[in-house]
């Protein structure tokens, strides 16, 4: 979100602006909202993340129409959270694209995600139509794909687990612009309630390896030069690792969740306490870090009942704008639990192994293994060496796949 303090009264959608990051590449931002990327080629427009409601998405579309009348061809969802997905229908795109893992998370967590989001951020979702259901993708991708917008190639990649299990990033090599979703935050505190904190820094290393000249984060101000991009990535890494290490230290001392919350807050607040959404996200961030320190690899589903239990456990530490009881449940479409065992879901190690194996690996989804050239990546000597060696070994980038080829 673009608010600069935790106490600022903001009206979601106010001060809407469309900022150019590179030729054909724009970032939409507005007070109280997640960011939306806009990429314009000769054939049409690609949207990256779709806002929290159709009304907010309509504001984005209005800004787009100020600069082009080209149709919106695809909406790409970088992850499953409601604040970035529920406006997708307003764009009337031909395809909604997400990762395989994001689709699975929508199937198993999407309905609860809507209800919990209504509780956490009632102002943001105040115009959400009654009965709004999950914005499911029409097509999914396992690891990577290319989209040809007409003289502008766009690369879509899953670089490992981080903010969620299924995060995608969008890279426009011709302009050096990268859309990071909530994997990177600029002036807001990251939300880590569904995160994989141990893996997240490796995903950030892989983003840095591209050396973007501009980067749109999930919320807040875009970074518009190499130094600003590096700073945004390092700020995110610092928050994630500090949260993870502080919670781990508390678990090693056998502290309970309430004492862990107090200790982690004291650790984070001096450096990050003034950032947007710090207080709002902190209970969820600590709960996930506590679970991961206890050895729980897969984040628990956030339901209203679990949120209420967390509030009870933390007592006076949690401030909420409205209680669960004050918000009437919205009818949501029943979703079917995935039959896939959680152990079958792709981990960061699985993904890294697929990069090292290259063509011919026996793991499912080989046909979509990330394949990048020196034009896409600038190697650095002091970062994830296995990842870097894989990139240099692969040689020139193959002829890009046509739009949505090979996706599931």
* DSSP characters over 223-255: B-SHHHHHHHHHHHHHHHHHHHHHHHHHHHTT-
Question: Average pLDDT of the chain?
Answer: 82
Q: How far apart are CA 378 and CA 35, in angstroms?
A: 27
Residue 37 has which token pair?
């990327």
Could you report the per-residue pLDDT of 107-135, keeping only the tens digit for each? 999 999 999 999 999 999 999 999 999 99
Q: Report which secondary-structure segment, H or E, holds 180.
A: strand 177-181
Share of the chain above pLDDT 70, in %: 75
pLDDT exceeds 90 at position 171: yes
Helices (H) and strands (E) counted in the chain, each on its own, are: 9, 12
- Count other Cβ atoms within 10 Å, centred on residue 322: 11
Residue 321 has which token pair?
């704008």
Cα–Cα nearest to 400, from 207, 213, 226, 148: 148
First to last CA, the chain: 32
| More confident: 338 or 77 | 77
* Phi (first) and psi of residue 179, to 5 degrees: -105, 115
- Count other Cβ atoms within 10 Å, centred on residue 259: 12
The SS3 call for residue 327 is coil
For the entire predicted model, the pTM comes to: 0.81
pLDDT exceeds 90 at position 278: yes
Could you report the per-residue pLDDT of 307-334, keeping only the tens digit for each? 999 999 998 555 443 333 333 333 333 3
**pLDDT at residue 58 in the model:** 98
> What are the start-end ranges of the E strands in 50-176?
72-76, 95-99, 139-141, 144-148, 153-157, 169-172
Contact 185, 290 (CB under 8 A): no
Residue 181 has which token pair?
């979703």
pLDDT exceeds 50 at position 240: yes
Instruction: Calculate the dihedral angle through the C-alpha atoms of 351, 218, 407, 174, rounding to the nearest 10 degrees.
Output: -100
pLDDT exceeds 90 at position 398: no
pLDDT exceeds 80 at position 375: no
């Amino acid at each position: 979100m673009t608010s600069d303090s935790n106490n600022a009264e903001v009206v979601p959608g106010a001060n809407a602006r469309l900022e150019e990051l590179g030729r054909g590449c724009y970032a939409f931002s507005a007070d109280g909202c997640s960011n939306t990327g806009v990429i314009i080629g000769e054939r049409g427009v690609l949207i990256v993340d779709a806002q929290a409601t159709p009304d907010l998405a309509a504001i984005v579309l209005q800004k787009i129409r100020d600069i082009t009348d080209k149709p919106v061809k695809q909406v790409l969802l970088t992850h499953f959270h409601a604040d970035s997905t529920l406006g997708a229908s307003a764009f009337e795109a031909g395809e909604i694209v997400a990762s395989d893992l994001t689709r699975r998370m929508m199937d198993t967590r999407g309905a609860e995600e809507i209800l919990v989001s209504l509780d956490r951020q009632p102002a943001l979702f105040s115009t959400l139509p009654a009965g709004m259901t999950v914005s499911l993708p029409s097509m999914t991708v396992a690891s990577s794909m290319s989209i040809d917008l007409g003289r502008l190639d766009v690369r879509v990649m899953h670089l490992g687990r981080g903010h969620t299990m299924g995060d995608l990033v969008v890279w426009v090599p011709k302009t050096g612009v990268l859309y990071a979703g909530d994997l990177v935050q600029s002036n807001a505190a990251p939300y880590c309630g569904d995160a994989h904190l141990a893996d997240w820094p490796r995903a950030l290393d892989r983003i840095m390896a591209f050396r973007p000249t501009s980067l749109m984060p999930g919320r807040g101000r875009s970074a518009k030069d190499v130094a600003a991009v590096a700073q945004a990535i390092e700020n995110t890494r610092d928050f994630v690792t500090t949260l993870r290490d502080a919670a781990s230290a508390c678990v090693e001392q056998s502290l309970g969740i309430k004492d862990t919350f107090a200790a982690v807050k004291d650790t984070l607040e001096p450096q990050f306490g003034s950032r947007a959404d710090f207080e709002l996200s902190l209970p969820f961030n600590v709960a996930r870090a506590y679970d991961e320190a206890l050895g729980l690899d897969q984040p628990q589903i956030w339901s209203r009942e679990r949120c209420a239990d967390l509030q009870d456990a933390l007592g006076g530490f949690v401030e909420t704008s409205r209680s669960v009881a004050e918000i009437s449940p919205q009818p949501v479409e029943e979703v079917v639990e995935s039959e896939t065992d959680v152990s079958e879901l792709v981990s960061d190690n699985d993904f890294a192994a697929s990069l090292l194996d290259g063509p011919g690996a026996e793991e499912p989804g080989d046909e979509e293994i990330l394949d990048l050239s020196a034009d896409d990546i600038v190697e650095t000597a002091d970062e994830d060496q296995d990842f870097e060696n894989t990139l240099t070994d692969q040689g020139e980038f193959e002829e890009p796949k046509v739009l949505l080829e090979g996706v599931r």
